[in-house]
Amino acid sequence: MRTLITIIAIACSMQLQAQNDSIANDSVTWEKQLDGVTVVHQKKLVKMETDKMTYKVSQDEDAKTATVLDMLRKVPMVTVDGQDNISVNGSSAFQVYVDGKPNPMMTANASVIFKAMPATAVKDIEVVTNPGARFDAEGAGGVLNIIMNRQNGMAASLDGYNGSLRATAGNNSVGAGAFISGQKGKFSYSANANYNHMHPKNTEMESMRTTNDGGTMATLTSSKTKIPFTMGSLSLGYEIDSVSSINASASLTSFQMTNNGRSTVSMFGGPYGQGFGYDYDMKMKNRKTAFTGSLDYQRFLNKERTSQFAITYVLSLSPTKNETTNNFNSNPLATIDLTDQRSDSRENTTEHILQADYTTPLSAQSKLSTGVKLTARKATTDADHYLGGVYSEGASMEYSHSNNILATYAEYEQTIGKFTAKGGLRYEHTWQEVKYEMGNGANFSTDYGNLVPSASLSYPLSMTSNIGLTYNMRITRPGISFLNPYVDTTTPTAHTYGNPDLSTEKSNNIGLVFNFYTPKLMLSAKLNQNFHNDGIEQYSFYKDGILNTTYGNIVERSETGGTLFANWLLHKNTRLFLNGGLTYNHISSDQIDAKNHGWQANIMAGLQQTLPLDFKLGAYLITSTKSYTLQGWNSGFNMLIANISKTFFDDKLSIGLTANTGLGHGGKITIESHTKGADFTNTSKISVPMKSIALNVTFNFGNTKRQTKQHVSRVQSDFIEQQSKGEMLNDMGNTPQ
């Protein structure tokens, strides 16, 4: 009987090899792994797992002419709306990691940074929709892990260097970049530098607010934005011996957003009597800089490299400066104060992380991971306010907020037959302290603990499909901008401020995942349910003629929906994409007596086509329906993105043209918003110019060749895949999460 089984296995293997040989004529291969599925088009493009998705940006032809934000529109479980706001797994509360390490700067400014960052700087984008116990508990939507382009630094055959130079020029932006990576023996390095200057055309906004006292305010604003952006990074790795390595990295990101414009305001009825009007010039400048540095040591504890230990230190600095000036043209009929106002605020967040992780197999079918992490985070705000050019101490504030977090976790993975189960617990204890050096507010300190569970179960239905069930609880700690009680009064009819009494938000997530893959078709579908009772929400209320906007733990939210990702090789020269989601939201708040609900859909559909003379064409239609907030809704949008590129001189030179436009509004994206409170209604319409075209040129150089062989042996292939996840021995399981 055993002999018969062996013969059948050999026959099946020969048949499978024959099929693969045939598929190779279409330049398509595929492979199946124990805990995930990798679908390959010439080179790996997407990896599907129960807990996460990995998009191989460096293997996508569109990456030559796109930004990271453009690529995110194609990534499963990620959506980007018409104003470039990013959602992961249906939530805007997510964490951004870079090479497996948390990056506060990118988390806080993901849209701006990814819009300026060229896709060629990124190797992979990992969407961790069900973060395990080893990840930080923060981020309701999960984790977006950006793997930067660099040398793997593992094989002696890669000794040498590779690099690229990039330049782009268009009607809305110009930029340039350089990248180099290399290896010499046990030493490896990589460096990235990018500059981009975005200068979109004028943005226009119309708004009207009516109040129950009969008053109406209509505003028309036209503004222009400029965003110079600079980013640089350096990574060094050294293989101490056959089982241990040390790695260091540093990155610097800086951008400045300036917005200059003019607003015209008309006020009439109710408290405004016969009415009056005024206008004012506004100037806003926002400067943000961030430094992140890390040092980590990793050691394998057995010759099979299945048992390992790692210790990591990370330092993050994020200084920010905001300047807002409103100069009013006075009107003697005005019944409100039109004194010129200026606000200068400085925020800074410093974070230290020290983490140790240990992973070891307990048997051939089980594995245990455990670790401890200490985070020391301090945020400060110093805000100065000026009235008519004179400093106002009463309206100014100096404030600090500290969080010290001690976390420990344990995660156990067990394979029983075809089932693979994973369960983990993470405990985080937070010590919080708030101090007011100047301004209204009382000092206070508190501490609290959060026990965060996670679990997943996966089962292969066949050689070409699998199914998984996931659960996790996530928390969201409010950041300094949410907590800061400073009242911004630069607009006399609308004041904004944070809420220092905010508490941690908890969310529970359940997901059912189905993956199906063949050499030509890949499908991934997910049904998910998310709910929480203490959600942080921005809300507005009208009081004493002023529209106040702040935050509160006031929301009960339930989100039920699903996502679908499809990648179909229709022909050897034609590939179709579909990335979309449909969600039903129900939001309510007893505190402000408000509730809302409705369906929302986001879809990106497109194709990649190889044209004669080996030109590469990509075209994508993006559409989004109305979305709902606690107090209202935002309208949907439609836009089109297209690019064409060609390589020359054995792929050393790439030239591409990319363009995008809004549909239905003269090339603009127009977003309408409606907000209704207990005693006011506010409607607005913002028109964002989207027509753009840019020329991209990339030159590649170097003396090493890329590895294209997919299989050496099962052990070797698994080892190479493990290293590519974290770069230079920084496996995701052993870097700070």
- 664-683: per-residue pLDDT in tens? 888 889 999 999 998 899 99
CA proximity to 451, closest of 137, 173, 683: 137
Q: How large is the average pLDDT for residues 207-225?
A: 93
On whether the CB atoms of residues 134 and 177 are closer than 8 A, the answer is no
| Banded model confidence at residue 150, pLDDT cuts 50, 70, 90 | low
What letter would DSSP give residue 611? Answer: P
| Mean pLDDT lowest among 37-41, 443-447, 480-484 | 37-41
Q: What is the pLDDT of residue 519?
A: 80
Q: How large is the average pLDDT for residues 521-549?
A: 89
Residue type, 714: R
Q: 3-class secondary structure for 266-287?
A: EEECHHHCCCEEEEEEEEEEEE
**119 phi and psi, to 5 degrees?**
-65, -25
Q: Helices H, strands E: what count in the chain?
A: 6, 39
State the CB neighbour count (10 A cutoff) for residue 561. Answer: 18
Q: 3-class secondary structure for 667-689?
A: CEEEEEEEEECCCEEEEEEEEEE
CA proximity to 627, closest of 648, 598, 667: 598
**16 phi and psi, to 5 degrees?**
-65, -40
- 578-605: per-residue pLDDT in tens? 999 999 999 999 989 999 999 999 999 9
On whether the CB atoms of residues 530 and 88 are closer than 8 A, the answer is no
Residues 6 or more apart whose CB falls under 8 angstroms from that of 87 comprise: 78, 79, 80, 81, 94, 141
Q: Would the pLDDT of 205 be above 70? A: yes
Higher pLDDT among residues 287 and 64, named by residue: 287
**Rounded Cα gap, residues 148 and 145, in angstroms:** 10
**Rounded Cα gap, residues 194 and 177, in angstroms:** 4
On whether the CB atoms of residues 169 and 190 are closer than 8 A, the answer is no
State the CB neighbour count (10 A cutoff) for residue 159. Answer: 14
- 246-261: per-residue pLDDT in tens? 999 999 999 999 999 9
On whether the CB atoms of residues 166 and 178 are closer than 8 A, the answer is yes
Residue type, 729: L
Q: Hey, what are 207's tokens?
A: 């708004």
**Rounded Cα gap, residues 551 and 621, in angstroms:** 35
Q: Which residues pair with 213 in a beta bridge?
A: none
- 607-616: per-residue pLDDT in tens? 999 999 999 9
Residues 6 or more apart whose CB falls under 8 angstroms from that of 644 comprise: 611, 615, 616, 617, 618, 656, 657
Q: Which residues pair with 206 in a beta bridge?
A: 220, 685
**Rounded Cα gap, residues 126 and 623, in angstroms:** 23
| Mean pLDDT lowest among 243-247, 458-462, 490-494, 495-499 | 490-494
308-329/637-648 β-pairing: unpaired
Q: What is the pLDDT of residue 44?
A: 54
Residues 6 or more apart whose CB falls under 8 angstroms from that of 40 comprise: 28, 29, 30, 31, 710
On whether the CB atoms of residues 667 and 659 are closer than 8 A, the answer is no
What average pLDDT does the structure give for the chain? 84
Q: Would the pLDDT of 421 be above 60? A: yes
Q: How large is the average pLDDT for residues 331-359?
A: 92
Task: Compute the C-alpha angle 91/349/501, nearest 5°.
Answer: 65
Q: How large is the average pLDDT for residues 197-221?
A: 92
Q: How large is the average pLDDT for residues 401-410?
A: 94
Q: What is the pLDDT of residue 23?
A: 36
| Banded model confidence at residue 405, pLDDT cuts 50, 70, 90 | very high
What whole-number percentage of the chain has pLDDT above 90?
49
Q: What is the pLDDT of residue 326?
A: 94
**Rounded Cα gap, residues 697 and 65, in angstroms:** 8
Q: Which residues pair with 457 in a beta bridge?
A: 421, 469
Q: Would the pLDDT of 42 be above 50? A: no
Q: Hey, what are 211's tokens?
A: 């109040």
On whether the CB atoms of residues 182 and 188 are closer than 8 A, the answer is yes
Find where tokens 């090899």 sit. Answer: 17
Higher pLDDT among residues 708 and 212, named by residue: 212
The highest-confidence range among 89-98, 115-124, 362-371, 726-735, by mean pLDDT, is 362-371
Q: How large is the average pLDDT for residues 493-509?
A: 88
Q: Would the pLDDT of 17 be above 60? A: no
Q: Would the pLDDT of 87 be above 50? A: yes
637-648/653-662 β-pairing: antiparallel
